Structure 1
Amino acid sequence: MADDDDVRRLALALPDTVEKPSWGTPGFRVHDKLFARLHDQPGVLVLRRPSVEDAEELAAADPVAFFRTPHYAAHPYVLARLAELEVDELAEVLREAWEVQAPPRLREQSC
């Protein structure tokens, strides 16, 4: 089971990532582009995805761990219930979110 401390540790381990508040909660950015933030609802993480369709597919594939709300319906974000994710799963979805926002040269260097 993952938690906020795991989010912070894993996100900040990604290249050129900084923590900066976003909507009043801790957000994680690469080159000032938000890729993840802790939601104001405890135990929930907001993650950037490549597209709205990808976010919808992830939520449909594992609705226990991932979900969407009307607020995010037109945006490429998915929400994750941290208690439903193993730490390695959290690392994977954070890396995917980071890759969406990281510049191509940085993605290539970090492979």
Structure 2
Amino acid sequence: MTADEMYVIVMGFPGVEVGTSYGHPAYKVGGKFFTRLRDEDASVVLQEVGFDEREMLIEAEPATFHFTDHYRNYPMVLARIESLDAGSLRSFLERRWRKIAPKKLVNNWDGHQS
């Protein structure tokens, strides 16, 4: 996947805005961090990934999933976009989006997905 393809997927979720997080370009929903693409390693930051799931992902697909010391104590994983499947990205992002999006947006989304 390319950065442009990632952008299309990220912006496909209702309420997503381009912003910054700790001085880095990021995507937010309702002012809350949604995700960002790390320039350092072309990896997308994925939240709502528990420690056990993270370890499983890294073991199963080490070329794609990893983390740095900065993320060690947080339920997050990094995924290199060049080898990340678009469907997987959507699934990870939807998990995060559902947690932070206003309920009205979620209910509207669910009504249109049926």
Which band: TM-score by shorter chain?
Answer: 0.7 to 0.9
Equivalent AA in structure 1 for residue 98 of structure 2: E
- Counterparts in 2 of 1:61 and 1:109: CA distance versus 1, 3 Å: farther
Give the alignment's TM-score, normalised by structure 2. Answer: 0.78
- Counterparts in 2 of 1:29 and 1:87: CA distance versus 1, 3 Å: same
- Per-residue displacement from partner, 1:42-80 (whole Å, max 9, x unpaired)? 421111115444444433443222112221111121100
Unaligned runs of 5+ in 2: none
Q: Do 1:54 and 1:76's aligned partners in 2 also have CA atoms closer than 8 Å?
A: no
Q: Do 1:66 and 1:80's aligned partners in 2 also have CA atoms closer than 8 Å?
A: yes
3-state SS of 1:15 partner: coil
What's the % identity of the aligned pairs? 30
Structure 1 residue ranges, 4+ long, deviating more than 4 angstroms after superposition: none
> What is the match of residue 24 of structure 1?
23
Distance in 2 between residues matched to 1:53 and 1:98, nearest whole Å: 21
> What is the match of residue 83 of structure 2?
84
Q: Do 1:50 and 1:100's aligned partners in 2 also have CA atoms closer than 8 Å?
A: no
3-state SS of 1:11 partner: helix
> What is the match of residue 49 of structure 1?
48
Larger mean Cα displacement after TM superposition, 68-77 or 57-66: 57-66
Give the alignment's TM-score, normalised by structure 1. Answer: 0.80
Distance in 1 between residues matched to 2:82 and 2:90, nearest whole Å: 14
Q: Do 1:53 and 1:76's aligned partners in 2 also have CA atoms closer than 8 Å?
A: no
Unaligned runs of 5+ in 1: none
Supply the RMSD in Å over aligned alpha carbons. Answer: 2.1
- Matched positions, count: 110
Q: Which of 1 and 2 has greater Rg?
A: 2
**1:40 Cα deviation after fit:** 2.8
Distance in 2 between residues matched to 1:30 and 1:63, nearest whole Å: 29
Distance in 2 between residues matched to 1:50 and 1:88, nearest whole Å: 16
> What is the match of residue 107 of structure 2?
108
